[in-house]
């Protein structure tokens, strides 16, 4: 890269080469459920058990997260691309829960019953950075389901591990 080159374009092009597992982050705030497809998620540490998520502050999930709500990170199975599409804009609000098998409406935060794994997190810290919010969650419960066969997103497409 040289000064004046399109750094943003190069960053996007570079990140298309980064294969990521796809998750759906859920939360609940003032009785309303939220769900959003995401890949900007990382393990943080085992002690304390923790994950971090990066969420655009223009996303609907900003309302619960900025209010300090807890959240759940649901790792999708390769057969759950339809849910990822619904939770990345095709559906809105509560309609996102029409796809997939979800925990009872009273469970907080909501978890996806047939996700590869679900991590229920208590929100511990959050930091606004530019367009995004980085949120650290203390993992309080983990649920596992089925064989390991995750949904992957790479080069702008959904894929599976060969």
Could you give the string, one character per residue 61-80, with x where binding to ligand FMN holds by CB under 6 A and - elsewhere? --------------------
Place of tokens 């998750």: 23
Is residue 88 at the binding interface for ligand FMN, with CB under 6 A as the rule?
yes
Name the residue nearer to ligand FMN (CB basis): 21 or 49.
21
Q: Closest Cα to residue 84, out of 75, 42, 93?
A: 75
Name the residue nearer to ligand FMN (CB basis): 47 or 109.
109
Q: How far apart are CA 157 and CA 66, in angstroms?
A: 30
Is residue 126 at the binding interface for ligand FMN, with CB under 6 A as the rule?
no
Query: In the bound complex, what is the minimum distance in angstroms from residue 4's beta carbon to ligand FMN?
Result: 29
Q: What is the CA radius of gyration of the chain?
A: 16
Q: How far apart are CA 146 and CA 142, in angstroms?
A: 14
Name the residue nearer to ligand FMN (CB basis): 50 or 133.
133
Q: Which of 51, 52, 55, 65 binds ligand FMN (CB under 6 A)?
A: 55
Asked whether the beta carbons of 68 and 16 are under 8 A apart, the reply is no
DSSP-derived 3-state class of residue 87: helix
Name the residue nearer to ligand FMN (CB basis): 61 or 120.
61
Number of chain positions touching ligand FMN (CB under 6 A): 15
Q: Within 10 A of 145 (CB to CB), how many other CB atoms are there?
A: 14
Q: Which of 26, 27, 28, 37 binds ligand FMN (CB under 6 A)?
A: 37
Q: Is residue 8 packed enough to be buried (19+ CB in 10 Å), middle (13-18) or exposed (0-12)?
A: exposed
Residues that bind ligand FMN (CB under 6 A): 22, 36-40, 54-56, 59-60, 84, 88-89, 153
């Amino acid at each position: 890269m040289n000064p004046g080159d399109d750094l943003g374009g190069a960053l996007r092009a570079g990140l298309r080469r980064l294969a990521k597992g796809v998750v759906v982050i859920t939360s609940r705030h003032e009785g309303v459920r939220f769900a959003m497809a995401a890949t900007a998620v990382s393990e943080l540490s085992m002690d304390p058990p923790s994950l971090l998520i990066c969420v655009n502050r223009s996303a609907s999930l900003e309302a619960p997260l900025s209010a300090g709500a807890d959240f759940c990170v649901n790792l999708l199975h390769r057969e759950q691309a339809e849910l990822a599409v619904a939770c990345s804009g095709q559906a809105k609000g509560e309609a996102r829960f029409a796809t997939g098998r979800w925990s009872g409406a009273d469970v907080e935060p909501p978890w996806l019953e047939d996700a590869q794994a679900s991590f229920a997190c208590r929100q511990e810290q959050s930091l606004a950075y530019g367009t995004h919010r980085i949120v650290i969650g203390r993992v309080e419960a983990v649920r596992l389901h089925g064989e390991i066969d995750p949904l992957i997103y790479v080069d702008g497409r959904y894929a599976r591990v060969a």
